[in-house]
Structure 1
Amino acid sequence: MSGNGDGTVTSPSEATLPRVEVLPEQPKYVCTLSAELIAKAREELQEKPEWRLRDVQALRDMVCKDYPNLGTCLDDTFLLRFLRARKFDYDRALQLLVNYHCCRRSWPEVFTNLRPSAIKPVLESGFVTVLPHLDSEGRHVVCIRPGNWTPSNYPITENIRAIYLTLEKLIQSEGTQVNGIVILADYKGVSLSKASHFGPFIAKKVIGILQDGFPIRIKAVNIINEPRIFKGIFAIIKPFLKEKIANRFFLHGSDVSSLHHNLPPRILPEEYGGTAGSLDISAWNDLLLASESDFLYDAAHLAPSSDPSPDAPLMSAEVDEKQCDDSLRSLKTQLYYCY
């Protein structure tokens, strides 16, 4: 896929997508949203309960007509994720669905054998977890701690796999589909050696997936305990961010009171000045590892193609290569002066 100037991604030709057998039709959708969330979805996502299944069928018809070889799940609950993520705009939801599959097929290091048991060492390290309490807007808080990663133990792509599986599990909830999520990234302990593993190539792919290849609404990214080198890391990230997403980044430094303006202390662990007890990763790890069967469909039917499209959508728009090089040089310069 190639990016256009307006931020859209050009769809691949049918020939680039391998034929994969679609699973038998699943039971009809039954709404699990509360009355409050139904009202919120109507207001924010243009979701009308009386038209919901009609909209899902419209997207299904578009997939069957335009991408008969996409090899996607076509049940109501799966397609509804993409409609909600794009506020029930059929064309944008279809593009997101195609991007979702092409992203998976273009990065085999991440998406081959993608199941919780395969990333158990990452989970046990505490690199990524989900806090047990929702924020005041009903959103899950995904806590990412890069400082817990030991590069000699496994490559950075294993961390990305763990984050992706976490998001896949969260998006199964209709409440998450409507409310979105919040990210809390703690950069305490991120050293020069760790930062050097995260360059423009990885940044472009990860952000491309999160912005244009996954049906989730990221409502805020709170960064805490960021070292001086984070300015260099953010310089690499920023060229790939849409303005709307870039404006949702909040840098708090070591000031937990600043963090509390965005996330209330009652949901935060003691490590971040909260009152919810010590950070415990075991509950989320157990939940994710017990969900192995949820990912059997992905393993059997959405495995990366052996010959993925070279134009798979890894970002929302083309970014000047010189911009990437400048960002990398900026990071190297800052790292030099920080150490």
Structure 2
Amino acid sequence: MALRFDKNKVPHIDLGSNLQISLDFTEYNDKQSLDKAWQELHETSETIEVRLKELRQLLKNEKDLNIPIDDDAFLIRFLRPRKFHAERAFETIKGYYKMKANKDFVLDNISAKAISVALEERVIQLYPLRDQHGRRIVYMEAGSNWNCSKVPFPEVIRATHALLTLLSLEPRTQLNGIVFIVNFDRLSFSHLGQFKPKFMNNVLDYGQRYAPMRIKSINIINNTTLFNILFQVCKPFLGQKWGQRIHFHGSSIEALHNQIEPHCLPAKLGGCMDLIDYEGRVLVEFLEQFQDKFDELNCYGYRQKDK
């Protein structure tokens, strides 16, 4: 297991057994993806051209917002999750950058270094294979394997946001989306105290309304009675769409496999993927290779007004 580079100096994590973690920022052009883009997002070359023009016109009136309005790829990142509705993408962009301007939240100044502890503690992990629908799989520890004294919940969310920010730059992920597996095994009262209602409201508001990505499902495993207390805190903040996309599997591996097929899951989740428990430091080293993208994105946002 190690960070490696291909002949074009593109980084990847070599996990052995022909498995690797890599990112792909190239546009899709295969028939299957193009057909899916049309069916699910109403995406065609003509639609892209028209909606980009509409979105740019809306953004021109947002004088205090500094973003690369002429960058097609940047704007498409917001259009795809909103199925090429220009006005909805516009609202997402405004909401996202207003939340980024809120220094009490965790969207500003993202970097591999800032989230290194969460990654080294393996609180959040990226699986190498996509699922049967082409969706990225993100695994999170929210129980006994989460040392919340080392990684408080806001830092878990900061790390999750930073990782998802890179994934959201992948056109195939913009199309197919992301699925979560969250393990609440042996959730304790010390863990429960991390979930402050106001912060949870912000997290769910961001995820449901302003995150420029398609969150297709959230799979909760090993949820117990104590988890139900936590869910009652979150429930008032859940909209209908996310309410339908959260699946509670308890200890049932079969229920999880109904959502995510075993071929893309490791043995600990009843899968057949020969995945070792890779060290979190390697994921830190991998994300450091994309610091230029973090730096660029960190520059964008609402201009601070003179007091």
Structure 1 match to 2:176: 179
Change beyond 3 A, Cα 1:41–1:104 = same
Task: Give 1:284 shift.
Answer: 4.2
- State the alpha-carbon separation in 2 of the partners of residues 242 and 33 from structure 1: 34
Q: What code does the residue aligned with 1:163 have?
A: T
Q: What code does the residue aligned with 2:291 have?
A: E
What is the TM-score when the length of structure 1 is the normalising length?
A: 0.77
Structure 1 match to 2:9: none
Q: What code does the residue aligned with 1:56 have?
A: L
- State the alpha-carbon separation in 2 of the partners of residues 127 and 305 from structure 1: 34
**Secondary structure at the counterpart of residue 134 of structure 2:** coil
Q: State which of 30, 35, 38 in structure 2 corresponds to 1:34.
A: 30
Q: State which of 223, 227, 232 in structure 2 corresponds to 1:230.
A: 227
Give the superposed CA RMSD: 2.1
Task: Give 1:145 shift.
Answer: 0.7
Change beyond 3 A, Cα 1:189–1:285 = farther
Structure 2 match to 1:289: 288
**Secondary structure at the counterpart of residue 297 of structure 1:** helix
- State the alpha-carbon separation in 1 of the partners of residues 138 and 217 from structure 2: 11
Q: What code does the residue aligned with 1:37 have?
A: S
Structure 1 match to 2:297: 298
Task: Give 1:150 shift.
Answer: 2.0
Structure 2 match to 1:124: 120
Structure 1 stretches of 5 or more lacking a match?
Answer: 1-28, 308-339
Structure 2 match to 1:94: 90
Change beyond 3 A, Cα 1:306–1:289 = farther
Q: In the alignment, is residue 195 of structure 1 matched against residue 192 of structure 2? A: yes
- State the alpha-carbon separation in 2 of the partners of residues 255 and 151 from structure 1: 26
- State the alpha-carbon separation in 1 of the partners of residues 115 and 302 from structure 2: 16
Change beyond 3 A, Cα 1:286–1:303 = farther
Mapped contact 1:222–1:250 kept (Cα < 8 A): yes
- State the alpha-carbon separation in 2 of the partners of residues 135 and 31 from structure 1: 19
Change beyond 3 A, Cα 1:224–1:154 = closer
Mapped contact 1:184–1:222 kept (Cα < 8 A): yes
Residue by residue over 1:7-56, the C-alpha shift from the partner in whole angstroms, topping out at 9 and shown as x without a partner, is xxxxxxxxxxxxxxxxxxxxxx9843422111111111111223312321
Change beyond 3 A, Cα 1:60–1:37 = same
Mapped contact 1:130–1:143 kept (Cα < 8 A): yes
Q: Aligned residues, how many? A: 278
Mapped contact 1:270–1:279 kept (Cα < 8 A): no
Task: Give 1:298 shift.
Answer: 2.7
Residue by residue over 1:93-129, the C-alpha shift from the partner in whole angstroms, topping out at 9 and shown as x without a partner, is 1001101101111144523431111110110011111
- State the alpha-carbon separation in 2 of the partners of residues 230 and 263 from structure 1: 22
- State the alpha-carbon separation in 2 of the partners of residues 198 and 304 from structure 1: 31
Q: In the alignment, is residue 214 of structure 1 matched against residue 211 of structure 2? A: yes
Structure 1 match to 2:248: 251
Q: Which has the higher strand share?
A: 2
Q: What code does the residue aligned with 1:280 have?
A: Y
Q: State which of 62, 65, 71 in structure 2 corresponds to 1:67.
A: 62
Mapped contact 1:266–1:274 kept (Cα < 8 A): yes
Mapped contact 1:224–1:252 kept (Cα < 8 A): yes
Change beyond 3 A, Cα 1:281–1:246 = farther
Choose 217-226 or 294-303, whichever is displaced more. Answer: 294-303
Change beyond 3 A, Cα 1:86–1:267 = same
Mapped contact 2:52–2:86 kept (Cα < 8 A): no
Mapped contact 2:113–2:284 kept (Cα < 8 A): no
Structure 1 segments (4+ residues) deviating >6 Å? none
Q: What code does the residue aligned with 1:198 have?
A: F
Mapped contact 2:48–2:84 kept (Cα < 8 A): no
Structure 2 stretches of 5 or more lacking a match?
Answer: 1-24
What is the TM-score when the length of structure 2 is the normalising length?
A: 0.84
Mapped contact 1:140–1:182 kept (Cα < 8 A): yes
Mapped contact 1:128–1:145 kept (Cα < 8 A): yes
Task: Give 1:220 shift.
Answer: 0.9
- State the alpha-carbon separation in 1 of the partners of residues 108 and 85 from structure 2: 31
**Secondary structure at the counterpart of residue 125 of structure 2:** strand
Change beyond 3 A, Cα 1:225–1:303 = farther
Structure 2 match to 1:318: none
**Secondary structure at the counterpart of residue 138 of structure 2:** strand
Task: Give 1:304 shift.
Answer: 9.1
